[in-house]
A and B are shown apart, each in its own frame.
Chain A
């Protein structure tokens, strides 16, 4: 993931990605996933290129990008911490844990710490309901969280 790419590079990479995937049936979501994996978000500059290559209107592409929670319109922090907010985690003290994490990081959900270290996001179920409360840090799953393990996670992203 390279966060310092010029618009021209973004255009070229986007075209590469779209060309490689446009033969898929229903290629738009796989393309957007790939673009986000490449740039860390879906840059605005990509949208007209995708629209042109897939013969869609720019509005249609914009509509899809903004519909799904996963696609970002700006880069996230170096780490992304997703806390499960759903019922099973609530039943095991997930809400109090979320408050603790917010206080430790000094940010709310959907925000990034000023040093760019971590973005905090809510997630509605990681399927770890039998190991609640649960979280995902950069794709790694963590269960049965408590005050201590949450401190460890926060220390990890702050390091």
Chain B
């Protein structure tokens, strides 16, 4: 029987040499006349072990990693195809503690299937949600999503079902489903992983959204920094179209739905939904004032559902297993699971999907295993470049939208970046302002001008120029940006800045530098 060997095609695995491993493995298999086939799967999310090679055996899948191309020959010598022992042997994949303790709903198939095999997708419960959806009335599908408690995973946490209901109830000759795949936040890669590792689940989620709201066209707006995701999604859409999952009759039903993949052009602000819509229309990615809501007047002024990748990719399992199943996970008003992305200076880096409710400390210390450098953790930025820096003192905060808001933070797209004690929090605060200045769309003054002034004030503090006065000024500026900006870019940039000032005051009150007189 042909043995299946899995070598990930996920960009993180490729960045660590997966392509060379696959090439070396193919050559060795050929040379040795081994009856084996290489499957390029998505990543399981244990990125510190990438490239992680797996082999399918009678006992289940056995993992090895991190594998270098130069390890391939010795792996085969050790009996890779039958799960033989080797220095890189990790054991049964499913039994690895990092994976075993997860609740994989949205990422159930990621890393397991061949991303571009629709039959693999079906064999692992794929399309069951859409099959169910086409038998239901649109209002019933929307009710399912509302009952599940699913909230927007892009960061804002707005209830997905309510968004869909607004679009369903808004009359329009044309309606659109737009998938926001402009995942620009540092420390996040869940969207990328699902698009590269299980693209059909996103396609299925978008098709369900189309059927539910009466939209017939979908766009996936993917950032240009993700060429691998763009290629995989483009291919997957073609396959889905040929198989009748998309097209004039979705799975043989009376519903029509098609998807087009669009590429961004390097503007972070296009992750903001209204800027993204402008960009799709071929305009500058300038934020629109709301109202009107995109659900009323969105893409080309038509009623539009705009959802994050993970929100849409979570819908198929809700439709398949029912809203109660999904809702039973989580805490408070944060229902279901959240793919937490553990990144930066941390030992166990990767994707960890779990029900809401883990504390930040559990995530960083227990799951993440502390810093990669071995030094003490100083700060953890949660929620991307617009997220707050949390000190160890707040590690008891549970991962929940409201709990983080109560601590003046946000979970955003659930990315966590760990910093060790060498981090300079004043420098990080300055960077937040600098990033905002680079990426501001320029429409509103607090963001456009405030960010530039913020960099200058941070520099003055660093130089020891009237530090007390300038700290006050920076706090005041943050207040203006927070309440005066049109969108989350200017409005949330104060989060990293004020949290750094509040929790790490020592970094903001250094001794003045002695500078040579001009």
B225 contacts which chain A residues (CB < 8 A)? Answer: 123, 125-127, 136
Of the listed stretches A8-16, A83-91, A100-108, A112-120, chain B binds A83-91
Q: In the docked arrangement, what's the CA distance between A32 and B279, Å?
A: 12
Query: Which B338-385 residues have C-beta < 8 A from chain A?
Result: 341-345, 349-351, 372, 381, 385
If A88-B187, A125-B184, A141-B15 touch, whether A130 touches B350 (CB-CB below 8 Å) is yes
If A69-B265, A127-B189, A139-B227 touch, whether A88 touches B417 (CB-CB below 8 Å) is yes
If A29-B263, A124-B184 touch, whether A91 touches B418 (CB-CB below 8 Å) is yes
The answer to whether A130 touches B342, judged by C-beta atoms less than 8 angstroms apart, is yes
Q: In the docked arrangement, what's the CA distance between A129 and B11, Å?
A: 11
Q: Which of B183, B417, B438 has the most CB of A within 10 A?
A: B417
CB of B508 closer than 8 Å to a CB of A: no
CB of B268 closer than 8 Å to a CB of A: yes
Q: In the docked arrangement, what's the CA distance between A64 and B385, Å?
A: 25
The 8 A CB mask of B141-176 against A (1 = contact, 0 = none) is 000000000000000000000000000000000000
CB of A71 closer than 8 Å to a CB of B: yes
The answer to whether B419 touches A91, judged by C-beta atoms less than 8 angstroms apart, is yes
Q: In the docked arrangement, what's the CA distance between A123 and B300, Å?
A: 30
Of the listed stretches B56-64, B280-288, B471-479, chain A binds B280-288
CB of B505 closer than 8 Å to a CB of A: no
The 8 A CB mask of B126-150 against A (1 = contact, 0 = none) is 0000000000000000000000000
**Interchain nearest-CB distance for A153 vs B (Å):** 12
Closest B residue to A27 using CB positions: B282
Consensus secondary structure, chain B interface = mixed
A144 contacts which chain B residues (CB < 8 A)? Answer: 15-16
**Interchain nearest-CB distance for B427 vs A (Å):** 8
If A69-B267, A124-B184, A129-B344 touch, whether A87 touches B385 (CB-CB below 8 Å) is yes
**Interchain nearest-CB distance for A74 vs B (Å):** 16
B286 contacts which chain A residues (CB < 8 A)? Answer: 67
Q: In the docked arrangement, what's the CA distance between A124 and B386, Å?
A: 13
The answer to whether A33 touches B263, judged by C-beta atoms less than 8 angstroms apart, is yes
We find that the number of chain A residues with CB closer than 8 angstroms to chain B is 43
Q: Which of A33, A69, A89, A92 has the most CB of B within 10 A?
A: A92
Which of B14, B189, B281, B423 interacts with A129 by CB under 8 Å?
B189
Closest A residue to B196 using CB positions: A127
Q: In the docked arrangement, what's the CA distance between A27 and B219, Å?
A: 13
CB of B224 closer than 8 Å to a CB of A: yes
CB of A80 closer than 8 Å to a CB of B: no
**Interchain nearest-CB distance for B298 vs A (Å):** 12
Q: In the docked arrangement, what's the CA distance between A51 and B244, Å?
A: 38
If A68-B266, A125-B184 touch, whether A143 touches B385 (CB-CB below 8 Å) is no
The answer to whether B282 touches A28, judged by C-beta atoms less than 8 angstroms apart, is yes
Closest A residue to B442 using CB positions: A67
Which of B186, B283, B344 interacts with A124 by CB under 8 Å?
B186
Query: Which A113-156 residues have C-beta < 8 A from chain B?
Result: 123-132, 134, 136, 139-144
The answer to whether B284 touches A129, judged by C-beta atoms less than 8 angstroms apart, is no
The answer to whether A130 touches B12, judged by C-beta atoms less than 8 angstroms apart, is yes
A127 contacts which chain B residues (CB < 8 A)? Answer: 11-12, 183, 188-189, 191-192, 225-226
B283 contacts which chain A residues (CB < 8 A)? Answer: 28, 60, 64
The answer to whether B344 touches A88, judged by C-beta atoms less than 8 angstroms apart, is yes
CB of A99 closer than 8 Å to a CB of B: no
Chain B contacts to A: CB under 8 angstroms: 11-12, 14-16, 47-48, 50, 183-189, 191-192, 217, 224-228, 260, 262-268, 279-286, 300, 341-345, 349-351, 372, 381, 385, 415, 417-420, 423, 428, 431, 435, 438-439, 441
Sample (10) of A-B pairs whose CB atoms are under 8 Å apart = A26-B282, A63-B284, A67-B284, A86-B187, A87-B385, A91-B417, A127-B192, A129-B344, A130-B349, A139-B227
Given contact pairs A124-B435, A129-B415, A130-B349, enumerate 10 new A-B contacts (beta carbons under 8 Å): A64-B283, A67-B286, A68-B265, A68-B285, A88-B415, A123-B266, A124-B268, A126-B11, A128-B12, A132-B343
